[in-house]
């Protein structure tokens, strides 16, 4: 993704609606270890269509992921690009689009601030889009994901399609921050988000009662 031109940035500030989606466990099926070839990429059922629905509702979608080894050259860029291309192609086939993918490329022992549950990666996304993260919905699949979203000040959502899904959700286990909204999967998140927007728009369209 290239740098935003001044005009593009201004347009985004005016009409910014952003959803940040964790890749592993939300958008694609989690693997043992990490994605190493395009064949490892498998979308969660309904997730691609959910992104298309969010796009149609006016949302830009950014994806976050950890990809340890990326920073040390353990993957060649051709492999990375091939995996990304597979994702984009499958999304395009259902009319969806991810605006950008942001990675933490560090190993656990590098003590970076962008590896979940640290909020650095989400903050980078907020800076890139020049948007207030308090208005951004961030969807994760594990306690670490929603801890990062909470620490970054995003509206935190949990889907239950990842390996980190809790055994019970009412209430969530104590490692989950307060206020997390729980959905079965990304499709359920998208449906709830769009329904909430439509309800808010209908409310805003009501005539103001006379004093």
Residues that bind Zn ion (CB under 5 A): 104, 106, 112, 114-115
How far apart are alpha carbons 209 and 131 in whole angstroms? Answer: 33
Nearer to Zn ion, 120 or 166 (CB): 120
Nearest distance, CB of residue 124 and Zn ion, angstroms: 10
Nearest distance, CB of residue 100 and Zn ion, angstroms: 16
Per-residue DSSP letters for 98-109?
A: --EEEEE---GG
- Spell out the residues 6+ positions from residue 88 whose beta carbon is closer than 8 angstroms to its own: 97, 98
How far apart are alpha carbons 135 and 198 in whole angstroms? Answer: 17
How far apart are alpha carbons 51 and 139 in whole angstroms? Answer: 12
Comparing CA positions, the residue from 155, 127, 128 lying closest to residue 140 is 155
How many CA atoms are closer than 13 Å to the CA of 10, on its beta-carbon side?
3
Nearest distance, CB of residue 139 and Zn ion, angstroms: 20
How far apart are alpha carbons 159 and 26 in whole angstroms? Answer: 7
Q: Is the previous residue joined to 117 through a cis bond, with omega within 30 degrees of 0?
A: yes
CA–CA distances in Å: residue 140 to residues 114, 201, 205, 209: 15, 26, 33, 40
Nearer to Zn ion, 51 or 66 (CB): 66
Nearest distance, CB of residue 68 and Zn ion, angstroms: 9
Nearer to Zn ion, 123 or 137 (CB): 123
Nearest distance, CB of residue 103 and Zn ion, angstroms: 8
Nearer to Zn ion, 27 or 114 (CB): 114
Nearer to Zn ion, 20 or 52 (CB): 20
Nearer to Zn ion, 60 or 124 (CB): 124
Nearest distance, CB of residue 52 and Zn ion, angstroms: 29
């Amino acid at each position: 993704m290239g740098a935003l031109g001044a005009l593009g940035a201004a347009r985004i500030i005016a009409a910014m609606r952003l959803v940040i989606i964790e890749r592993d466990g939300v958008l694609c099926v989690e693997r043992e270890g990490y994605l190493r070839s395009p064949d490892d990429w498998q979308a969660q059922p309904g997730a691609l269509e959910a992104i298309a629905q969010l796009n149609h509702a006016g949302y830009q979608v950014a994806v976050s992921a950890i990809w340890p080894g990326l920073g040390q050259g353990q993957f060649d860029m051709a492999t990375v690009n091939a995996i990304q291309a597979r994702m984009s192609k499958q999304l395009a086939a259902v009319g969806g689009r991810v605006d950008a993918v942001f990675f933490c490329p560090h190993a656990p022992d590098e003590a970076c601030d962008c590896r979940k549950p640290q909020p650095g990666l989400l903050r980078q996304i907020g800076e890139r889009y020049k948007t207030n993260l308090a208005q951004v919905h961030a969807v994760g699949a594990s306690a670490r994901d929603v801890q990062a979203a909470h620490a970054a000040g995003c509206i935190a959502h949990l889907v239950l399609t990842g390996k980190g899904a809790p055994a019970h959700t009412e209430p969530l286990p104590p490692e989950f921050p307060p206020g997390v909204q729980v959905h079965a999967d990304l499709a359920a998140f998208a449906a709830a988000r769009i329904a909430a927007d439509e309800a808010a728009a209908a409310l805003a369209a009501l005539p103001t009662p006379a004093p």
